[in-house]
Amino acid sequence: MPPRSHTPPPAPPDDEDEPLPYRTALVGAGLAFLGATWMLVHAGVSQWVAATVMLLWIPTTFCLTWMVINGGMYLVQTPYYLSEMLILFLGTQRVDPGNLAILRLPERSLMRDWGEILMPHILQGFHLGDATGLRRRSLVPVMAVSILLCLAVAIPATIWLGHVEGSVSTLHGQRGFSYNPYNQIANWTRVPLFIDWTEICNAIGGAIFTHLLLVARWRYVGFFLHPIGFAVGASYSNFHIWSSLFLGWLVKTMITYCGGAHWYQRLRPVFMGLIVGEYIAALIWIVVGAITRVPYRLLPVP
């Protein structure tokens, strides 16, 4: 009999240069999913609604993080609440307005405004570490301490602000966190929404078109339509900063067209200085606003 061939076992994945071991990251993600689902259920959300919303949140988080990393936009926002995807396919009666009322606060504060999501900014931090030669794993303790310090400051400040100033009088409170979402739910209770096949077809068509744009970007060099622009074109932030994005694109195009990659690399520090200067100015005026009680808007919101 010929000798039986022995296939060597596959080598274990090399995660030495990763921020966390793969197994630790997987276990942590699972515990986070279970913990977030349990908190929603404990607040009164049905088990299947809580689990479905969290399952929708995971791919949405990855997609919008990809948009931030690849598109350079530090503020993106989904033009919908995750629970509205359930309404689209099931209607308000099956989802139950009680579930929607409880979900509105975490959805508005954590699942829609992506300025509060840490994943894109953490990945950008690791990218900067790679550029400067720092090991990714050495940055994890520093980031963890920074997050804990921010929570220690932000949680008491948010609770104090809500109780002292009132949610209606605080920034965006009257639109996002107080009566508007619940008025909408009350309207759904009086006039329920049913399965909307037109909107379902629109959603499927948008997904197919975005996939075609991705394929075109991969297959054809210089294809000028980016799927990120199509996906976030109707989001909240672009309504207010589209002119800044256009000017940035125009200046970059003129530099690369007239001076090529050499001038593009030479002038990058200038534009990085403009970006850092804007952040410093915002920080200064936030401190001034906290003292004078006159708020400073980071976005040109009317």
What residue ranges do the domains of the chain occupy? 19-195
Reported confidence tier of residue 206, pLDDT bands at 50, 70, 90: confident
Q: Report yes or no: 98 and 136 within 8 Å, Cβ to Cβ.
A: no
pLDDT reported for residue 42: 92
Model-level pTM?
0.74
Fill in the amino acid letter for 207: A
pLDDT reported for residue 34: 93
Residues sharing a CB contact under 8 Å with residue 81, sequence separation 6 or more, in sequence order: 103, 104, 107, 108, 111, 112
Residue 106 has phi, psi (to 5 degrees) of -65, -35
Residue 302 has pLDDT above 60, yes or no: no
pLDDT reported for residue 48: 92
Q: pLDDT digits over 73-106, tens only?
A: 666 677 778 888 888 888 888 888 888 888 877 8
Question: What is the C-alpha to C-alpha distance for residues 223 and 213, in angstroms, rounded to an integer?
Answer: 9
pLDDT reported for residue 1: 47
Q: Which residues pair with 113 in a beta bridge?
A: 77
Residue 188 has pLDDT above 70, yes or no: yes
**Cα radius of gyration rounded to whole Å, the chain:** 23
Question: What is the C-alpha to C-alpha distance for residues 160 and 171, in angstroms, rounded to an integer?
Answer: 14
Reported confidence tier of residue 137, pLDDT bands at 50, 70, 90: confident
Fill in the amino acid letter for 41: V
pLDDT reported for residue 226: 80
Residue 67 has pLDDT above 80, yes or no: no
What are the residue ranges of helices labelled H in the chain?
22-43, 47-71, 82-90, 92-95, 97-110, 119-132, 136-164, 179-190, 197-219, 227-232, 236-292
Instruction: Of 42-51, 65-74, 267-276, give the lowest mean pLDDT range.
Output: 65-74
Burial class (CB in 10 A: 0-12, 13-18, 19+), 42: exposed
Question: What is the C-alpha to C-alpha distance for residues 50 and 56, in angstroms, rounded to an integer?
Answer: 10
Residue 113 has phi, psi (to 5 degrees) of -80, 105
Q: How far apart are the first and last CA of the chain?
A: 83
pLDDT reported for residue 27: 92
Which of 160, 219, 188 lies closest to 81, judged by CA?
188
- Record the tokens describing residue 263, joined without a space: 């001038």
SS3 call for 11:
coil
pLDDT reported for residue 8: 61
Chain center to CA of 172: 18
Contacts 24+ apart (CB under 8 A), 126-134: 126/19, 127/69
Residue with tokens 């220690």: 152
